[in-house]
Amino acid sequence: MSLEKYNSDSTNMMNLVFFKDAIGHLARIARVLGQPRGNALLIGVGGSGRQSLARLAICMANFDCFSIEITRQYGIAMFHEDLKQLLLKAGKENLSVCFLFNDS
């Protein structure tokens, strides 16, 4: 049900296969996001589904997703600008925001 909701709300549709371990990881991520000031560091090899499961858990928690992609051209000034935008969303607009970044 949550995946269908995510796909209807998002422009990037996800077709996920839920096996036992994936459901367990999704439940843990959702539980952490449900905690006050909850945060998680997801580590693993590329293509393992970390970002997809995190985005789904963010949708389940009704959070806004603020995502950045760290590349070679991404510098300190760009990070400060992104961080400023994130803090304005969370503080000024009083939105529940998840900061998601991907190192490529």
Same domain, 31 and 55: yes
Task: Return d(Cα 104, Cα 90) in angstroms, integer.
Answer: 26
pTM (two decimals): 0.80
For residue 103, the tally of other CB atoms under 10 A from its CB is 9
Looking at the structure of the chain, the number of domains it has is 2
Q: Tens-of-pLDDT digits for all 104 residues of the chain?
A: 888 888 888 888 888 878 898 889 899 999 999 998 888 888 888 778 888 888 889 989 989 989 998 899 999 999 999 999 999 999 999 889 999 887 76
Same domain, 93 and 47: no
Question: How far is the CA of 95 from the CAs of 2, 21, 38, 73, 90, in angstroms?
Answer: 20, 31, 15, 29, 5
Same domain, 85 and 50: no
Same domain, 47 and 72: no
Same domain, 31 and 7: yes
Range of the domain at 48: 1-62
Task: Return d(Cα 84, Cα 25) in angstroms, integer.
Answer: 30
